[in-house]
Structure 1
Amino acid sequence: MQLYLEILKNILESEETHIVFPNLKIDPKEIVEIESYKALQNIKKVLEDDNLGDEECFEKIEEIVCIFESIGSNAGNRHDFG
């Protein structure tokens, strides 16, 4: 069975794919624009807080990175502080 799945996977990987969401009432561009706008609103809220010191500013940056991660993006290698 494993060989069967490997062969099938290999064949399907080279085939053109069309994904359809028949009940979706909004197009993908609008979805991305809406989510991007929400993320920008959240980032603006973080940046508008003038009552923070240096350590808290670092926390602001961390919060902004988390906002990007919440929409499926990331900060690349810069967010690997461990």
Structure 2
Amino acid sequence: MTLYEELLWNCLQNAPVEVTFPNLSIHPNELVEMKCFQAIEEIRDILEDKKLTDQECAMQIRYIIYTMEEAGIHIQNR
């Protein structure tokens, strides 16, 4: 799946199963953009902590991966 498809699937997976999405009042592109923005905000917040040691920075990278996975972006080959 492409990144777009993964994010869109994550946004719509709990929507009613129909050919159309009757309760969807927003365009799928807007859903994906919103999800990306939220993930980028969380990643920025993680990286902005300037008092981290190298070991703590490595842990923050794990948090970034977790944040991406929570957004429906599955990391391959890690």
Counterpart for residue 57 of structure 2: 57
1:1-82 alignment runs, 5 A limit? 19-78=19-78
Root-mean-square deviation (CA, aligned residues, Å) is 1.2
Q: Unpaired segments of 5 or more residues in structure 1?
A: 1-17
| Percent identity for Structure 1 against Structure 2 | 39
Question: Computing the radius of gyration over CA atoms, which structure comes out larger, 1 or 2?
Answer: 1
The number of residue pairs the alignment matches comes to 61
Aligned-partner SS, 1:76: coil
Q: Unpaired segments of 5 or more residues in structure 2?
A: 1-17
Q: How far apart are 1:19 and its partner, in Å?
A: 2.6
Question: Runs of 4 or more off by more than 2 Å in structure 1?
Answer: none
Q: TM-score, normalised by structure 2?
A: 0.73
| Higher RCO (C-alpha 8 Å, min separation 6) | 2
